[in-house]
Amino acid sequence: MAIVSTNSNISRYGRPVLAWGVALLFFFPIFWMVLTSFKTDADAVKPEFLIWFTPTLDNYLNLTENYDYWRFATNSVITSVCATLFTLVVGIPAAYAMAFNPSRATKDILMWMLSTKMLPAAAVLYPMIFLAKGIGLYDTHILVITVVSLINLPIAIWMLFTYFKEIPKDIIEAGKMDGVSTWGEVKEILIPLAWGGIASTALLIFIFCWNEAYWTVRLTTIDAATLSKLIEGNRAPEGLFFGRLSAVSTAAVGPIVVLGWFCQKQLVQGLTFGAVK
């Protein structure tokens, strides 16, 4: 009897405590970053002002006045929106073809696409930079959008493929009997039926594009530089100004955190779809 009640106490109180503990652990760096963004650079490094300090908006004002925040933010929006659209425009037909007209090579192609994600990015860094400079596309939107799209394309295709597989083949075949063209099949049947899955994929890819740093930092200088570049730029040369750096980081991740918050349900569904059905 005693053992049972101890066990149930553990599951009753222990699990929530553990869950909250893990959540706080993950949340703490973000909390600390947001908090620090309201401190002066001097206060930011003083332990006595860890929690109790006089908040200031200087870092944020500085951001828009001296660091051209809006240009970087606009570039991030352009890159993420265009790359997401491009990924879907290429990914939907690709996933459609593999889901409904599979060949013997389909499985291998899917695995091959995934394997490209295993290639260390650093391995192709210099060829990419030389190539970009050689064809005169270094620091342009078109280059950044292309690279960011291609990086995320395998994941998008995999996700879309999983969603499309859930659509009964009979419905697509009924469409064929009813005289839909291939484009009609995609527009009239596939997209409406897989709308939830396509939205989840788009959202996730958008977040990945927004957060992309490795290539956006290295393939841009000013014109096509995204918020990742702004953070990177504030890191080193003048020493570590924690207040300012935190404000930059908060302003960079803010929009995506808000977006993610509103679309939590879609995201969780997108990431677990197929796995738990």
Partner 1 sequence: MGRIVLNNVTKSFGETQVIPPLDLTIEDGEFAVFVGPSGCGKSTLLRMIAGLEDLTSGQIEIDGDDVTQVPPSKRGLAMVFQSYALYPHMTVRKNIAFPLRMEGMDQSEIDKKVEAAAKSLNLSDYLDRKPAALSGGQRQRVAIGRAIVRNPSAFLFDEPLSNLDAALRVGMRLEISEMHESMKTTMIYVTHDQVEAMTMADKIVVLQAGVIEQVGTPLELYHTPRNVFVAGFIGSPKMNIFSGSEAEKLGAHTAGIRPEHIDIDLSGGTWKGTVGVAEHLGSDTFVHVHDTALGDLVTVRIAGDVAVKHGDTIYLTPQMDKIHKFDEQGLRV
Token pair for 104? 């013997």
Q: Which is nearer to partner 1, 133 or 169 (CB)?
A: 169
Q: Which is nearer to partner 1, 52 or 183 (CB)?
A: 183
Which of 120, 136, 168, 239 binds partner 1 (CB under 8 A)? It is 168
Task: Tell me: does residue 176 bind partner 1 (CB under 8 A).
Answer: yes
Task: Tell me: does residue 186 bind partner 1 (CB under 8 A).
Answer: no
Task: Tell me: does residue 177 bind partner 1 (CB under 8 A).
Answer: yes
- # chain residues binding partner 1, by CB under 8 A: 16
Task: Tell me: does residue 105 bind partner 1 (CB under 8 A).
Answer: no
Token pair for 124? 């192709």
Nearest approach in angstroms of CB 193 to partner 1 is 6
Task: Tell me: does residue 180 bind partner 1 (CB under 8 A).
Answer: yes
Which of 88, 98, 159, 189 binds partner 1 (CB under 8 A)? It is 189
Task: Tell me: does residue 165 bind partner 1 (CB under 8 A).
Answer: no
Q: Which is nearer to partner 1, 31 or 195 (CB)?
A: 195
Task: Tell me: does residue 192 bind partner 1 (CB under 8 A).
Answer: yes
Task: Tell me: does residue 63 bind partner 1 (CB under 8 A).
Answer: no
Integer Cα distance of 273 and 277 in angstroms = 7
CB 212 within 8 A of CB 200: no
Task: Tell me: does residue 42 bind partner 1 (CB under 8 A).
Answer: no
**In angstroms, how far is the first alpha carbon of the chain from the final one?**
38
Question: What are the φ/ψ torsions at residue 241 (nearest 5 degrees)?
Answer: -100, 95
Task: Tell me: does residue 48 bind partner 1 (CB under 8 A).
Answer: no
CB 242 within 8 A of CB 45: yes
Return the residue matching tokens 């803010």. Answer: 254
Nearest approach in angstroms of CB 55 to partner 1 is 51
Integer Cα distance of 183 and 108 in angstroms = 26
Q: Residue 190 CB: number of other CB atoms within 10 A?
A: 25
Q: Residue 178 CB: number of other CB atoms within 10 A?
A: 11
Task: Tell me: does residue 102 bind partner 1 (CB under 8 A).
Answer: no
Task: Tell me: does residue 271 bind partner 1 (CB under 8 A).
Answer: no
Return the residue matching tokens 């989840």. Answer: 200
CB 86 within 8 A of CB 212: no
Token pair for 208? 């990945």
Q: Give the binding site for partner 1 (CB under 8 A).
A: 168, 170-171, 173-180, 184, 188-189, 192-193
